[in-house]
């Protein structure tokens, strides 16, 4: 491009001023408007869009009534959308680690905030890098920051926060640089883009998205709640040991949902821009593009707020995979887990799946080479909170076990998606088989547990400040470890000292 511009400048020196000016404008416009084009790849690039805290049932393609996700819905029409995908945990550390390692939290070792993934775990990035892929990640800081082990295998791991307003342009620059460099353009790549934009505090979503759905509310929130949405929710959350458990009035819950949905629409608009960017560079049709989340948020469906429980509002996640040229598009109903993503992607690009992977490749089923009976159709979510809880899902039912107290619940999650009707008093015949699956799972993780004594060595001041702003730490506090955690409690969300103004100031900081 520089050579082309230099030649034009020499030519223009021989022209009168006005023609020279017009030609200069045309030349600069050509440079600004031209995009690098991707070559035809032998192995497809993989683009992983990780939208933190996005629950599946708040997307249009999963049946939601609000228009939160027109771009994601359009994308899902040409993709394989898994109707019943469950995450492995209710919060960021275990769930994100499971997505990138295909290991259950009890195996990979990152359960509490201060813990890191065992170095013995092989990540998706490590497997692809060994096969010749370039690997780059742009994540939104916090508990995704460098040092927790998620960076294993990434050639570039940018953890400077700022949401899609900051991360989006960095993703685009990296892609253009990759395509313009003759040394890299022909190499396939793994690109991870992660954002906390849907995560609380909901009220820092930029306009016009923040207030987009407030006009649909039947009644306004209480005055106190309107002024301090996330802080008020946090106070309720921290009071869960009280009896009776304090609850927000329904109109305040609906107000919070409207803000949450505004955050989804904000990210959806960015995803639409990303799609156009990829289409202009010949990347959209020949890449594997994934939309996934690590968990959702609860709005008192089980009396709780934010995330910590493992009921479906928190652990039912979107998992949408678009294959090159839209192959295998459709809606798939078998139950799957987030740990199935890594082996599926590796299988699709012909890279050997690590023997330690605990998920299954879904590719034979998607390609019609195997029937649904060949799939495990089991999904396990686990949490050290609320008395150490485990949920195991089969084809139709989901069994919950609280190990402290040996309590059981069972739900027909397909007929009762929010898991409101506990059937344990008159249990279905599937109860015994679910208990058997749970025993088998316990044996698996007991025999495969990696070194879980690894803790993050140091967290920089900026990350600590962000964790305070996001509500995971009190000012001057420390990250939790397994020894520190009270297993009766949920993860810290909006610790004491939280103020919306502090979060807004942090969110506006340049990366």
Convert 448-475 into a string of H (helix), E (strand) and C (coil).
HCCCCCCECCCCCHHHHHHHHHHCCCCC
pLDDT at 26: 52
Is-contact 340 357, C-beta < 8 A? no
Whether residue 386 is predicted with pLDDT greater than 50 in this model: the reply is yes
Torsion of CA 504, 506, 509, 511, to 10 degrees: -130
The arithmetic mean of pLDDT across residues 133-162, rounded, is 96
Name the pLDDT band for 91 (thresholds 50, 70, 90).
Answer: very high
Q: Taking the chain, what is the end-to-end CA distance rounded to the nearest angstrom?
A: 29
Name the pLDDT band for 20 (thresholds 50, 70, 90).
Answer: low
Whether residue 7 is contained in a domain is answered as no
Distance, in Å, from the CA atom of 328 to the CA atom of 369, rounded to the nearest integer, reads 12
Whether residue 6 is predicted with pLDDT greater than 90 in this model: the reply is no
Whether residue 286 is contained in a domain is answered as yes
Ranges 58-62, 400-404, 464-468, most confident: 58-62
Whether residue 325 is contained in a domain is answered as yes
Whether residue 124 is predicted with pLDDT greater than 60 in this model: the reply is yes
Distance, in Å, from the CA atom of 302 to the CA atom of 113, rounded to the nearest integer, reads 24
Whether residue 31 is contained in a domain is answered as no
Whether residue 488 is predicted with pLDDT greater than 50 in this model: the reply is no
pLDDT at 454: 64
pLDDT at 373: 83
Is-contact 411 422, C-beta < 8 A? yes
pLDDT at 13: 46
Name the pLDDT band for 21 (thresholds 50, 70, 90).
Answer: low
Q: Is 241 exposed, middle or buried (0-12, 13-18, 19+ CB in 10 A)?
A: exposed
pLDDT at 405: 81
The arithmetic mean of pLDDT across residues 20-47, rounded, is 74
How far from the centroid of its chain's Cα atoms is residue 26's Cα? 43
Alpha-carbon Rg of the chain, whole angstroms? 24
pLDDT at 1: 39
Cα separations in angstroms, 55 against 64, 86, 285: 11, 10, 27
Percent of the chain with pLDDT over 70: 81
The arithmetic mean of pLDDT across residues 207-231, rounded, is 95
Tens-digit pLDDT profile for residues 105-119: 999 999 888 889 989
Whether residue 351 is contained in a domain is answered as yes
pLDDT at 322: 98
The arithmetic mean of pLDDT across residues 46-73, rounded, is 98
pLDDT at 456: 64
Of the candidate ranges 21-25, 128-132, 183-187, the one whose mean pLDDT is the lowest: 21-25
Mean pLDDT of the chain: 87
Tens-digit pLDDT profile for residues 306-364: 998 999 999 999 999 999 999 999 999 999 999 999 999 999 999 999 999 999 999 99
pLDDT at 399: 98
Distance, in Å, from the CA atom of 327 to the CA atom of 78, rounded to the nearest integer, reads 8
Whether residue 5 is contained in a domain is answered as no
Of the candidate ranges 8-12, 34-38, 134-138, 194-198, the one whose mean pLDDT is the lowest: 8-12
Tens-digit pLDDT profile for residues 433-476: 999 999 999 999 999 998 666 666 666 767 666 666 666 666 66
Percent of the chain with pLDDT over 90: 71
pLDDT at 350: 98
Name the pLDDT band for 504 (thresholds 50, 70, 90).
Answer: very low
Tokens coding 233: 């929710």
| Residues forming beta bridges with residue 402, ordered by sequence position | 389, 407
Whether residue 427 is contained in a domain is answered as yes
The arithmetic mean of pLDDT across residues 23-34, rounded, is 54
The arithmetic mean of pLDDT across residues 269-274, rounded, is 98
For the entire predicted model, the pTM comes to 0.88
Whether residue 33 is contained in a domain is answered as no
Whether residue 145 is predicted with pLDDT greater than 80 in this model: the reply is yes
Residue 101's H or E segment, with its range, is: helix 92-101
pLDDT at 462: 72
Domain that holds residue 491: 46-507
Question: Which CATH number fits the domain that encloses residue 196?
Answer: 3.40.720.10
Contacts of 292 (CB under 8 A, 6+ apart): 48, 49, 50, 51, 99, 317, 318, 319, 320, 338, 341
Is-contact 344 328, C-beta < 8 A? no
Whether residue 507 is predicted with pLDDT greater than 80 in this model: the reply is no
The arithmetic mean of pLDDT across residues 217-226, rounded, is 95
Contacts of 163 (CB under 8 A, 6+ apart): 140, 195, 196, 197, 507
Greater model confidence, 395 or 484: 395
pLDDT at 485: 43
Which 8-state DSSP code applies to residue 14?
A: T
Sign of CA dihedral 383, 384, 385, 388: positive
Cα separations in angstroms, 290 against 61, 74, 80, 130, 190: 15, 14, 10, 21, 11
The arithmetic mean of pLDDT across residues 490-510, rounded, is 42
Domain count, the chain: 1
pLDDT at 374: 79
């Amino acid at each position: 491009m520089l050579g082309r511009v230099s030649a034009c400048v020499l030519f223009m020196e021989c022209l009168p001023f006005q023609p020279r000016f017009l030609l200069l404008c045309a030349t600069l416009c050509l440079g600004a408007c031209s995009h690098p084009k991707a070559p035809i790849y032998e192995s497809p690039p993989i683009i992983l869009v990780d939208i933190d805290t996005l629950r599946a049932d708040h997307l249009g393609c999963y049946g939601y009534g609000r228009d939160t996700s027109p771009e994601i819905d359009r994308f899902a029409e040409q993709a394989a959308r898994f109707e019943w995908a469950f995450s492995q945990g209710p919060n960021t550390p275990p769930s994100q680690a499971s997505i990138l390692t295909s290991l259950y939290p009890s195996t990979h070792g990152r359960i509490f905030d201060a813990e890191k993934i065992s170095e013995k775990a092989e990540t998706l990035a490590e497997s692809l890098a060994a096969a010749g892929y370039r690997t780059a990640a742009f994540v939104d800081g916090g508990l995704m920051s460098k040092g927790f082990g998620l960076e294993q295998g990434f050639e570039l791991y940018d953890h400077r926060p700022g949401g899609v307003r900051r991360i989006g342009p960095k993703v685009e620059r990296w892609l253009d640089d990759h395509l313009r460099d003759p040394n890299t353009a022909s190499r396939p790549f793994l690109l991870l883009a992660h954002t906390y934009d849907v995560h609380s505090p909901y009220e820092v979503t930029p306009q016009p998205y923040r207030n987009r759905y407030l006009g649909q509310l039947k009644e306004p929130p209480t005055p106190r709640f309107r002024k301090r949405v996330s802080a008020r929710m946090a106070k309720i959350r921290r009071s869960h040991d009280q009896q009776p458990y304090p609850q927000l009035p329904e109109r305040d819950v609906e107000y919070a949902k409207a803000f949450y949905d505004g955050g989804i629409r904000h990210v959806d608009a960015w995803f639409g821009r990303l799609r156009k960017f990829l289409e202009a560079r010949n990347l959209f049709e020949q890449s594997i593009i994934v939309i996934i989340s690590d968990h959702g948020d609860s709005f008192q469906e089980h009396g709780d707020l934010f995330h910590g429980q493992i009921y479906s509002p928190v652990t039912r996640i979107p998992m949408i995979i678009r294959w090159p040229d839209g192959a295998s598009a459709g809606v798939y109903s078998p139950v799957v887990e987030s740990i199935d993503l890594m082996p599926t992607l590796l299988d699709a690009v012909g890279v050997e799946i690590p023997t330690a992977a605990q998920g299954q490749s879904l590719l034979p089923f998607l390609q019609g080479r195997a029937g649904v009976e060949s799939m495990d159709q089991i999904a396990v979510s686990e949490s050290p909170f609320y008395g150490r809880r485990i949920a195991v899902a089969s084809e139709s039912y989901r069994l919950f076990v609280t190990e402290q107290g040996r309590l059981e619940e069972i739900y027909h999650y397909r007929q009762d998606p929010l898991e409101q009707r506990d059937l344990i008093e008159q249990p279905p015949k599937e109860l015994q088989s679910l208990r058997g699956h749970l025993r088998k799972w316990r044996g698996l993780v007991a025999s495969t547990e990696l070194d879980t004594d690894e803790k993050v060595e140091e967290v920089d001041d900026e990350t600590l400040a962000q964790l305070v702003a996001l509500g995971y730490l009190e000012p001057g506090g420390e990250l939790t470890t397994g020894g520190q955690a009270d297993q009766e409690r949920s993860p810290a969300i909006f610790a004491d000292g939280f103020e919306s103004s502090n979060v807004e100031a942090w969110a506006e900081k340049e990366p």
